[in-house]
Structure 1
Amino acid sequence: MGPISRECAASRDAAGEPYAVVLRERGRPQPVAVLNIAWAHGYLGVWAYDDQGRRTRELDLRRLEAGRLFLRHIAQWRYDTEDMAEFADRAGRVLVDLYPDGRGRKVSEPKGIGGGSLHTLADVPDERRWEPARTFGDWAWAVAMATEGRLSGVSLRDAPEAPEAVEESPNQRGPAENREHGHATAPGWRPPSPLRPRHLDEMFTPGTRFSPPDDHATGPYVVRVIDTGTLRLPTGRIVACDPGWLHPGEPFTVAVPPGRYRMQIATAACPSEHWGKPLRMEDVTGARILISDKPTAHWEMALRPGEDPRTLREDEFYGFGVDTGTGCFVDAAAAGRLTGGENTVPYDDSADGILVLDDPESGGNLIVYPSGMGDGCYPVWIGRDTDGEVTCLVADMLILRHQELLPNRSQHDS
């Protein structure tokens, strides 16, 4: 990695390939600002640096429309002492998340992590949420936003053909330069990536073993795949939600042919002990609707109307919320009549926590299952075969998201 020519940077810009722009000023070894650009991902990230080389402000802009950039995220850190580490827990910070539909939230932590926080709506007018897209090389506006206008002494000239300094990574401090200039570098970073699906086939394969969590000597293994019954979908428009919610939400934008489909839940256990005695806690890791018998070739995130995956930041996802420790799948035609009542919480009705409710009016039904470790938010993944047809939908409880597959996948002793 190192500086690249203007021609190379312009070529990468036109192709949507990642590159970075580092802005420096005379006599200052640390960059004033760094721009990370990857138009294939619709992404422009801007970082501002203080005199100690610590990042103090972040802007995350997304190209959601032709000719305009949306300001998705603003973050700012305050370091009270010169020797405070970058992003130290004691550093005060403000985080703002904005969304194209006008929503926004602001989190203020004046004493840093653990020092109390204030959560409010983000009062940012629409004209400040959008910026006109600029041409290659027009970076002053973004740097001015990140540094709040403090651009004294900074040159935005093109990088020389043979700059004296090499920036190893946009998020690391490189060696000092003796003249002021800005230069483009090959990427030592990658654009923010939404949550990716992991182990969705393996979690439904009994005996599959995974690497142990940090606090366990033995990793989890798939114990059972339980048939929960037939899910009836009279319209094929699927809703995933907490069955106790009064408003189940909109169905996914991807529908399946109306019909009757097998539904399963998968469980995994991680051997442990309590007071010297062996203990095996078994948790639901996922629930799936089997649409076809064809193998899944690729996965995509299930979305509801208005959800735009281009706005997701690192490891973020759209999912369904859970407050009762249970989730469900249900057809949209039956959702309003079957959710929101006390009878949707299975309690001890089933040893596996499964409950099936029928809606004679629509012909659909609702199948309730335990939601992994309990309350939270969980993504649903849509599987497709090589022809692009839907093979299944999987509600992922995220229990296995950080684990790795082990080569020995034989059935664990139970």
Structure 2
Amino acid sequence: MITDVTYGEGWDAASRTVLGPMNRRRATARDAAGEPYAVVLREEGRPQPVAVLHIAWAHGYFGVWAYDDRGRRTREFDLRRLEPERLFLRHVARWRYDTEDLPEFAEQAGRVRVDLYPDGRGRKVSEPRGSEGGSLRTMADMPEEQRWIPVSEFGAWEWTQALVTDGQFPDALREAPETNPTPLATAFAAANWRPPTPMRPRHLDKMFTPGTRFSPPYDGDAGPYVVQRVIDAEPLRLPTGHVIACDPSWITPGKPFTVAVPPGDYPTQIATAAYASEYEDTPVHIEDYTAARVLISEKPTVAWELALRPGEDPRTLRDGECYGFGVDSGTGCFVDAAAAAQLIGRENALAQEPDPDGILVREDPESGGNLIAYPSGMGDGTYPVWIGRDADGEVTCLVADMLILGHQELLND
């Protein structure tokens, strides 16, 4: 039996059709240029595809969707080209349909999700009964050699057989008959896929502009978020310029960011936003801590990037994901690496009360550094730090985003 190969701009999962069909020559050119395209693999006589491949080398992305003979997705693979000749298996999802009439992604469909990381870590979430039952979270035990797959040349799609089926692909692949290509703009307007897009910063300057209005936190009687206060904390003293963001009550502070700043004392600000609501017919005023920033220079910020620690690779981030610092005590902080060992820890956290604004400052006379702690938005979670740069590429600021206003929309007055 022969498997047909069709190339296109994308794949419409709802209608099971190729969007913007293209010939092999055009697909080869897109592959070489790193531009997105899709590959649909079919078995002769089977209306549903065996697999759909989504490829965008400029983003280091190779995605695989596998289907059963009823057109239901059964497996999904997210591979990243972290090395020129090897793909890293970043994510695997599997769905199990116990009956023939169970719809795709049904709530009661069993599912397993595995996330892997290049440093050897991994986690697995199993839900044998879907959302109707419990879940089991464990470490993902996968040998190193199974986490990496050699990059094959264009058209050699047979290697995906180990991913998408328990059986074997046929030995030969046949190019599907050519069709008239859909114009590029039209195809992309209809295409329903794109390479994974990690979290991007939003409204970082506006968070520190008092009076700026954002959409309400929820539907109902809540009023809009309004930037309420920008609290000037004491300057952050950085004797080495190697900055750490963490929960100040943790046992260990973790590693500093890979981007350092010149040693010095820098203005530090904490921003809040508030909204009006009601509770049992009584008006209430809710104020949230939304962000903290360290101002490194007065030059305008023209670009933002995610602050990273050693071992964190932004190429492994999936849709909406980011690296950040974890919080378990409802408090975050900035501190220099030279002072962190002396200032971080539960005993230190309990030894001093924050000021009326919720800000806590600790000093380390030996290193000359200090720690500035602040309430972390809604409480516990993982929060990104964004690095601002000026037109010359120099660091202008560091902003810890509490992920409150970044999800809201600016309101026009």
Match of 1:71 in 2: 89
Match of 1:296 in 2: 301
2:208 partner amino acid: F
Match of 1:158 in 2: 175
Measure the CA separation in 1 of the matches of 2:172 and 2:208: 57
Measure the CA separation in 2 of the matches of 1:87 and 1:384: 43
Measure the CA separation in 2 of the matches of 1:392 and 1:85: 49
Displacement of 1:145 after TM fit?
A: 1.2
Measured against aligned partners, the alpha-carbon deviations of 1:201-231 in whole angstroms (never above 9, x if no partner) come to: 1111111111223434422111111111110
Ranges in structure 1 where 5+ consecutive residues have no aligned partner:
171-185, 409-414
1:331 and 2:320 are equivalent in the alignment: no
Measure the CA separation in 2 of the matches of 1:346 and 1:394: 27
Measure the CA separation in 1 of the matches of 2:342 and 2:174: 64
Match of 1:406 in 2: 411
Measure the CA separation in 2 of the matches of 1:94 and 1:109: 6
Match of 1:241 in 2: 246
Equivalent pair of 2:335/2:372 in contact (CA under 8 Å): yes
Measure the CA separation in 2 of the matches of 1:187 and 1:158: 22
Displacement of 1:84 after TM fit?
A: 2.4
Identity %: 69
Match of 2:13 in 1: none
After superposition, the Cα gap between the structure-2 partners of 1:289 and 1:301, relative to the gap in structure 1 and judged at 3 Å, is same
In the TM superposition, 1:7-406 aligns within 5 A as 7-113=25-131, 115-151=133-169, 156-162=173-179, 188-217=192-221, 218-344=223-349, 349-406=354-411
Aligned to 2:214, the other structure's residue is in SS state: coil
After superposition, the Cα gap between the structure-2 partners of 1:71 and 1:384, relative to the gap in structure 1 and judged at 3 Å, is same
Displacement of 1:346 after TM fit?
A: 8.5
Aligned to 1:264, the other structure's residue is in SS state: strand
Measure the CA separation in 1 of the matches of 2:352 and 2:403: 23
Equivalent pair of 1:18/1:187 in contact (CA under 8 Å): no
Larger displacement relative to structure 2 (154-163 or 120-129): 154-163
1:2 and 2:27 are equivalent in the alignment: no
Measured against aligned partners, the alpha-carbon deviations of 1:255-289 in whole angstroms (never above 9, x if no partner) come to: 00000000001101121111111111101000000
Equivalent pair of 2:22/2:181 in contact (CA under 8 Å): no
After superposition, the Cα gap between the structure-2 partners of 1:6 and 1:188, relative to the gap in structure 1 and judged at 3 Å, is farther
After superposition, the Cα gap between the structure-2 partners of 1:48 and 1:98, relative to the gap in structure 1 and judged at 3 Å, is same
Equivalent pair of 1:252/1:304 in contact (CA under 8 Å): yes
Displacement of 1:29 after TM fit?
A: 2.3
Larger displacement relative to structure 2 (240-249 or 141-150): 141-150
Aligned to 1:393, the other structure's residue is in SS state: strand
- How many residues align structurally? 391
1:132 partner amino acid: P
Displacement of 1:47 after TM fit?
A: 0.4
Equivalent pair of 1:35/1:45 in contact (CA under 8 Å): yes
Measure the CA separation in 1 of the matches of 2:211 and 2:182: 54
TM-score normalised by L of structure 2 = 0.90
1:231 partner amino acid: L
Equivalent pair of 1:288/1:392 in contact (CA under 8 Å): yes
Measure the CA separation in 2 of the matches of 1:211 and 1:307: 33
1:63 partner amino acid: R
1:204 partner amino acid: F
Larger displacement relative to structure 2 (75-84 or 321-330): 75-84
Equivalent pair of 1:72/1:311 in contact (CA under 8 Å): yes
After superposition, the Cα gap between the structure-2 partners of 1:356 and 1:164, relative to the gap in structure 1 and judged at 3 Å, is closer
Measure the CA separation in 2 of the matches of 1:61 and 1:295: 37
Ranges in structure 2 where 5+ consecutive residues have no aligned partner:
1-18
Measure the CA separation in 2 of the matches of 1:259 and 1:300: 22
Measured against aligned partners, the alpha-carbon deviations of 1:345-395 in whole angstroms (never above 9, x if no partner) come to: 598532221110100000000001000000111000000011100000000
Match of 1:180 in 2: none
After superposition, the Cα gap between the structure-2 partners of 1:367 and 1:56, relative to the gap in structure 1 and judged at 3 Å, is same
Aligned to 1:157, the other structure's residue is in SS state: strand
Equivalent pair of 1:346/1:354 in contact (CA under 8 Å): no
Displacement of 1:139 after TM fit?
A: 1.0
Measure the CA separation in 2 of the matches of 1:88 and 1:391: 48
User: Which structure features the higher share of strand residues?
Assistant: 2
Equivalent pair of 1:69/1:130 in contact (CA under 8 Å): yes
Aligned to 2:77, the other structure's residue is in SS state: strand
Larger displacement relative to structure 2 (368-377 or 214-223): 214-223
- Poorly superposed stretches of 4+, deviation over 4 Å: 163-166, 345-348
Displacement of 1:149 after TM fit?
A: 3.3
Displacement of 1:58 after TM fit?
A: 0.6
Equivalent pair of 2:247/2:331 in contact (CA under 8 Å): yes
TM-score normalised by L of structure 1 = 0.90
Displacement of 1:250 after TM fit?
A: 0.2
Aligned to 2:338, the other structure's residue is in SS state: helix
